[in-house]
Amino acid sequence: MLGADAIVKCLEAENVDYVFGYPGVAICPFYNSILNSEIQTILIRTEQNAAHAASGLARVSGKVGVCAVTSGPGATNVITGIATAFADSIPLVCITGQVNSELLGSDVFQEADITGAVESFVKYSYLVKDANEIPRIFKEAFYIANSGRKGPVLIDIPIDVQNAPVRKFNYPESVNLRTYKPTIKGHAIQIRKVIGELSKAKRPIICAGGGVLLSDAEKELRAFAQKYKIPVVSTMMGIGVMPTRHPMYYGMVGNNGKPYANRAMNESDLLIMVGARVADRAVSQPDLITENKVLVHIDVDPAEIGKNVGAAIPLVGDAKHIFEDLSKEEFTCEHEEWISLLDHYRETMQKKRHPDPAYVDPAEFIRLLSEQMEDDAVYVADVGQNQIWSCSYHIVKDGRFLTTGGMGTMGYSIPAAMGARLACPAKQVVAVCGDGSFQMSMMELATMRQFHIPVKIIVLKNNYLGMVRQYQHFTYEDRYSVVDLSGSPDLEKLAMAYDMKFMRLHTMEKAEETIAGFLAHDESVLLECIIDPMDLV
């Protein structure tokens, strides 16, 4: 058995179904060995999207996403995808081919110091120097990626190591890392303190971040919130922890969030922040969330607690376990006044939009779309104005809402939707992007066609990089610089070129039936919505 065969065996042992990647000479031994396996390979059209697709798969399946690319440019191209997964705490194992280990450091063809280059975007990285270490390294890599604060792990494997004989393949059953022991269970004393504060609180609130979804703790969070009658708001990455229309859910916080969600958070006297980094987009003034209130900060990563804001009660551990423990207590909570105040805010503080009837109104369109989508559908939002509209108007029922809230990488939605669709072929998967973000990933239409991945794509077309245009509108008084997208292709012709169904919507007049037709197709569809170029989020 060769190193390359050992890699494939490791992936099989980890129950990997798909590898997203792009070959080159330095990773060819691996791609040769994988032909003997049931694992399916998906030839992505640019390496960055291999990591995004693996991310989409990981987020809906709970498994580690895997991608494999070649050395040099292949490896450097995947960095943005890895950095995106790192910012969003998505578990990935990224395999990179490397030049012959004898030649390392001599700047030969397609050599890049990828473990060095990617250091600040990975949870850990390996440069494999001995093929016999492959089983241990892969076991560790999968464990590190998918435990504690999840994240990407990179394994760089020189071509000669892939071709070297492996004495005996033994996939370890457990890992033994003396430097890595994530805290899963919350400290009993801290849990008791939270309960103590909760029994005193008059205006408690939970702010849930992406960490709740990553720890698969939605059910536990809902049970906890129901039991003690605590209202819930979320960050962008936390959208979906509760159904949007759940009476206890009060929307997304942050400068692009719901005004009533921010108000609810600011007026609370006990704020339970869970699985959220308190980053600038969610909480622009961290000082405010400790003013006149007790802040409980729950996170599996101790470094997140106290990084941006000091918490009165820090609580390190996995959200699922912590909510289970918190729900064990027996006492009654009545926050009726607080809840009716928040209901009042929710009713009276709705943003008013004044859409131009000559165009599709993205807000109303997204609302209608999500009404018609299946309950357990996966909605993937890209980055730009479209992301904010998606966050604000998509209605999560029992499905998932995926977007990159941490890194905000344009072009995320199409490859991530592909990964999500492969992970759950029975579910409806819709990617919603702008015409800017679409063009960052449109090469993947070929991948969708080649591997029969029926993703439904919506392009909100305004011929602008809308988010930047909006910023220039406010900051530079409409001096638009480098935001005009008028060279964009005719999407109808483009869809035709890829054998894709195409639909176009000009106004809201036929929106409902167009959406119905769009969702009814079994195969990939591209729906272009012409929106007001001057619209603001």
Contacting residues toward another protein, per CB under 8 A: 115-116, 119-120, 123-124, 127, 144, 177-180, 301-303, 306-307, 310
Cβ nearer to another protein, comparing 144 with 417: 144
Percent composition of the chain: helix, strand, coil (DSSP 3-state, to 5)? 40, 20, 40
CA distance 58 to 193: 35
Contact 122, 151 (CB under 8 A): yes
Cβ nearer to another protein, comparing 299 with 325: 299
If we measure between CA atoms, which residue out of 248, 186, 178 comes closest to residue 215? 186
CA distance 147 to 154: 15
CA distance 137 to 347: 54
Least Cβ distance, residue 79 to another protein (angstroms) = 15
Sheet holding 152-158, edge to edge: 40-43, 18-22, 65-69, 92-98, 152-158, 124-127
CA distance 339 to 226: 12
Cβ nearer to another protein, comparing 177 with 516: 177
Unique residue bearing structure tokens 């610089």: 481
CB neighbour class for 46 (10 Å; exposed up to 12, middle 13-18, buried from 19): buried
Least Cβ distance, residue 127 to another protein (angstroms) = 8
Cβ nearer to another protein, comparing 406 with 466: 406
Least Cβ distance, residue 306 to another protein (angstroms) = 6
CA distance 20 to 417: 13
Cβ nearer to another protein, comparing 111 with 361: 111
CA-based angle 389:392:398, to the nearest 5? Answer: 115
CA distance 45 to 57: 17
Cβ nearer to another protein, comparing 88 with 304: 304
DSSP single-letter state for residue 248: T
Cβ nearer to another protein, comparing 121 with 518: 121
Least Cβ distance, residue 248 to another protein (angstroms) = 33
C-beta atoms surrounding 357 within 10 Å: 10
Residues 178, 179, 185, 187: is their CA dihedral positive or negative? positive
Q: How far is CA 247 from the centre of its chain?
A: 25
Contact 298, 224 (CB under 8 A): no
Least Cβ distance, residue 178 to another protein (angstroms) = 6
Give me 456's structure tokens. Answer: 């439904």
Least Cβ distance, residue 137 to another protein (angstroms) = 12
Least Cβ distance, residue 69 to another protein (angstroms) = 21
Give me 97's structure tokens. Answer: 């081919």
DSSP letters for 166-203: -S-----SS---TT-----SPPHHHHHHHHHHHHH-SS
Cβ nearer to another protein, comparing 85 with 500: 85
Least Cβ distance, residue 130 to another protein (angstroms) = 14
Least Cβ distance, residue 518 to another protein (angstroms) = 44
Cβ nearer to another protein, comparing 131 with 305: 305
Least Cβ distance, residue 310 to another protein (angstroms) = 7
Give the H or E element holding residue 456: strand 456-461
Cβ nearer to another protein, comparing 209 with 314: 314
Cβ nearer to another protein, comparing 310 with 489: 310
Cβ nearer to another protein, comparing 121 with 393: 121
If we measure between CA atoms, which residue out of 139, 100, 105, 147 comes closest to residue 123? 147
Least Cβ distance, residue 124 to another protein (angstroms) = 5
Least Cβ distance, residue 313 to another protein (angstroms) = 16
The alpha-helical segments, DSSP class H, found in 268-335 are 319-326
Cβ nearer to another protein, comparing 17 with 113: 113
Q: Tell me how far apart the 2 most distant CA atoms of the chain are, in Å.
A: 71
**Rounded to the nearest 10 degrees, what angle do helices 47-61 and 413-423 cross at?**
50
Residues 451, 456, 461, 466: is their CA dihedral positive or negative? negative
Phi then psi dihedrals of residue 158, to 5 deg: -55, 150
Least Cβ distance, residue 301 to another protein (angstroms) = 7
